[in-house]
Amino acid sequence: MRQLLVINPNTSASVSALLQHHVQAAAGAQVAVRTVTARFGAPYIACEASYAVASHAALDAWAATRAPAGAPAPDAVLIGCFGDPGLMALRESCPVPVTGLAEASFIEAARHGRFAIVTGGERWGPMLQRLAQALGHAPALAGIRTVAPTGAELAADPAAARALLGEACRAAADELGAQAVVLGGAGLAGMAAAVQGEVGVPVIDSVIAGTRWALRCGAEPAAGPSPIGAVAWQGVSPELAALGRREPGVLSI
């Protein structure tokens, strides 16, 4: 059976449970999904500082899953945050393919043409713009619309969230001329289907897109991690310190 590891880089157990449910449903019964939660950081990532800590937490979570002797490697890793904190560091460290909710959503949405992003939390606008640029998707990005409530607040009131997000997705499609809209956020899993009937273009669920792309990448041979080198990391978890000490060419910790 194929194994998919989902890393929730925030500390919210409820978000991890939501990810586990929706990723497993999207992956199907032939895939074993395991979701792990960050051991430190913020309960919701909503600013540059919490994003920076989440990148560290995502790498630490990966190291912790590899620490037990004989722990099998998953077939792929999915970062369960729309923003993909730690994406490049995990790719450098993992012997298996790694993707995130944002990267996978951008890839899927761009197949339809120019796309827009709708998400919760106003500080995410410039952060996602920078990520799209870094991943090479800026030319296809028609624009970003954020709503004031965070993803956690939206998830807490689904009825109000549906109305607010439906309106934002319609506006993104109509005013920005987007051929698809990405509804991004782990806490918004399942919301795309709820608002699709109100929007005239495809609405991409970031969690479903992330699951599909992770499984597709996981079916292909991985190039293996890049050498980190024998560097003594200080003041981090024992598992992460062991990852930092890994010699070039050694795939396990």
Q: What's residue 249's pLDDT?
A: 40
Asked whether the beta carbons of 92 and 73 are under 8 A apart, the reply is no
Same-domain check for residues 176 and 108: yes
Q: What's residue 245's pLDDT?
A: 66
Asked whether the beta carbons of 88 and 225 are under 8 A apart, the reply is no
Q: What's residue 112's pLDDT?
A: 98
> How many domains in the chain?
2
198 C-beta neighbours (distance < 10 Å), count: 14
DSSP assignment letter at 247? P
Two structure tokens written together for 93: 């460290």
| Domain contains 250 | no
| Domain contains 251 | no
| Domain contains 252 | no
| Domain contains 253 | no
| Domain contains 74 | yes
Instruction: Enumerate the β-bridge partners of residue 92.
Output: none
| Parent domain of 174 | 102-205
Same-domain check for residues 69 and 96: yes
Same-domain check for residues 221 and 231: yes
Same-domain check for residues 201 and 107: yes
pLDDT tens, N- to C-terminus, the chain (253 residues): 999 999 999 999 999 999 999 999 999 999 999 999 999 999 999 999 999 999 999 999 999 998 776 678 899 999 999 999 999 999 999 999 999 999 999 999 999 999 999 999 889 999 999 999 999 999 999 999 999 887 778 878 888 888 999 999 999 999 999 999 999 999 999 999 999 999 999 999 999 999 999 999 876 655 555 555 556 788 999 998 888 766 444 333 3
CATH of the domain at 233: 3.40.50.12500
Q: What's residue 251's pLDDT?
A: 36
Same-domain check for residues 129 and 149: yes
Structure pTM?
0.91
